[in-house]
């Protein structure tokens, strides 16, 4: 079932049990636009069936926010022209060369190319993948595109971020709603989960320039402007506090000194994320 977040803007909520991300629907007078294709053919079918019951203009395009499996495995089932950043298409074209049976997934986890969490969720969402077929996007852009759906416009902009460098956001000015995909999340794919303070600052500046009342992320409930920026401001402050520190103990001690209290569980996780990011930068130097 799709839920309404604003005039002309709907979403299908995320499902944590099988890592189904939030999917979006923007309804114009001429056609509708889908945001992300789902993590399986079944996920895509559930979305399309719900949308067909709404009496809206037919969907004409799907926008893909980034290359990760849970946002793209439903593309073939959507059976619509697909739009993405050029880097997203390049990544998906590589994914098309891979095998997705259990043995192949396990082998990629063993080499570090895939992570255990994604492997396990793929198996849970799709116990058998014999007929899984991936599709590459049909149209690409580099910086930003605007899509006039008739009575409502969508802006799709590449913003990057450590979670996936190809990440794009979708902003609907008339509704003041932004679909963030997964762009504000940590880097999960290169060792310990991490943030890079410089990249985070650049990313948040790109998001902040748009006037949004509501934000939808890939794997959380929708947030108001106040809710999201309260979290992101705290994240940024912790990143600034950690600085270039590569010792978790030293970073925690600095937090204790500045805040006059020990970090809670979430704050400690963020401290660890920035420390891990600094360690990666040092190791790459």
HEC string of 47-68 equals: HHHHHHCCCCCCEEEEECCCCC
Hey, is 23 helix, strand or coil?
strand
pLDDT exceeds 90 at position 99: yes
Alpha-carbon separation of residue 196 from 122, 184, 205, 240, 270 (angstroms): 28, 11, 14, 10, 11
Indicate the class that CATH gives domain 3-224: alpha beta
145 sits in which H/E element: strand 144-148
* pLDDT at 284 > cutoff 90: no
For residues 43 and 19, what is the distance between their CA atoms, to the nearest angstrom?
11
- Residue 175: predicted pLDDT: 98
Q: Looking at the predicted structure, is the pLDDT value of residue 150 above 90? A: yes
Assigned token pair, 277: 């990011």
Q: What is the pLDDT of residue 285?
A: 75
Token look-up 């890939």 returns 218
**Range 104-131 average pLDDT:** 97
Kindly report, residue by residue over 4-59, the tens digit of the pLDDT: 999 999 999 999 999 999 999 999 999 999 999 999 999 999 999 999 999 999 99
pLDDT confidence bin for 69, thresholds 50/70/90: very high
Q: Where are the domains of the chain?
A: 3-224, 239-284
Average pLDDT over residues 221-226: 98
Closest CA to 175 of 11, 40, 1, 2: 11
Q: What is the pTM of this model?
A: 0.97
Nearest by Cα to 180 from 36, 5, 40, 16: 36
Mean pLDDT, all residues of the chain: 97
Instruction: Report the alpha-carbon distance of residue 242 to residue 245 in Å, rounded.
Output: 6
Predicted confidence (pLDDT) per residue in 45-67, tens digit: 999 999 999 999 999 999 999 99
- Residue 235, pLDDT above cutoff 80: yes
Place of tokens 């509704």: 175
| CA 50 to chain CA centroid, nearest Å | 22
Q: How confident is the model at residue 112 (pLDDT cuts 50, 70, 90)?
A: very high
pLDDT at position 49 is 97
Determine the pLDDT at residue 1. Answer: 87
Residue whose entry in the numeric block shows the structure tokens 């996780």 = 269
Alpha helical stretches, state H, the chain: 41-52, 69-72, 75-78, 86-95, 102-111, 116-125, 197-208, 225-242, 248-259, 265-284
pLDDT computed for residue 272 by the predictor: 98
Confidence class for position 161, pLDDT limits 50, 70, 90: very high
Taking the C-alpha atoms of residue 15 and residue 43, their distance in angstroms, rounded to an integer, is 10
Range 84-95 average pLDDT? 98
Distance between CA atoms of 254 and 275, rounded to whole angstroms?
Answer: 12
Average pLDDT rounded to a whole number, residues 122-149:
97
Q: What is the pLDDT of residue 172?
A: 98
Tell me if residue 186 falls in helix, strand or coil: coil
CA dist 270 and 119 (Å) reads 25
Mean pLDDT in residue range 242-253: 98
Secondary structure of residue 184 in the 3-state scheme: coil
Helix 102-111 vs helix 116-125: crossing angle, to nearest 10 = 170
Query: What does the pLDDT read at residue 42?
Result: 98
- State residue 226 phi and psi, 5-degree precision: -65, -40
């Amino acid at each position: 079932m799709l839920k309404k977040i604003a005039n002309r803007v709907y979403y299908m909520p995320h499902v944590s049990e099988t890592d189904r991300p939030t999917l979006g629907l923007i309804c114009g007078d001429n056609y509708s636009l889908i945001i992300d294709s789902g993590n399986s053919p079944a996920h895509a079918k559930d979305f399309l069936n719900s949308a067909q019951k709404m009496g809206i203009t037919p969907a004409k395009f799907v926008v893909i926010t980034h290359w990760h499996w849970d946002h793209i495995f439903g593309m073939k089932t959507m059976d619509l022209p697909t739009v993405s950043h050029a880097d997203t298409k390049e990544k998906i074209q590589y994914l098309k060369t891979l095998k997705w049976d259990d043995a192949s997934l396990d082998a990629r986890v063993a080499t570090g190319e895939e992570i255990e969490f994604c492997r396990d969720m793929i198996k849970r969402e799709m116990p058998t993948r014999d007929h899984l077929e991936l599709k590459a996007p049909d149209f690409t852009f580099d910086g930003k595109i605007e899509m006039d759906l008739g009575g409502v416009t969508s802006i799709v902009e590449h913003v990057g971020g450590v979670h996936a460098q190809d990440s794009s956001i979708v902003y609907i000015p008339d509704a003041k709603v932004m679909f963030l995909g997964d762009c504000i999340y940590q880097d999960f794919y290169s060792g310990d989960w991490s943030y890079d303070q410089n990249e985070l600052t650049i990313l948040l500046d790109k998001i902040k320039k748009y006037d949004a009342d509501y934000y939808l992320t890939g794997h959380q409930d929708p947030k108001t402007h106040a809710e999201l920026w309260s979290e992101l401001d705290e994240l940024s402050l912790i990143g600034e506090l950690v600085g270039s520190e590569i010792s978790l103990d030293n970073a925690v001690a600095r937090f204790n000194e500045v805040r006059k209290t020990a970090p809670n569980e979430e704050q400690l996780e963020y401290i660890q994320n920035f420390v891990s990011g600094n360690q990666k930068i040092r190791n790459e130097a």
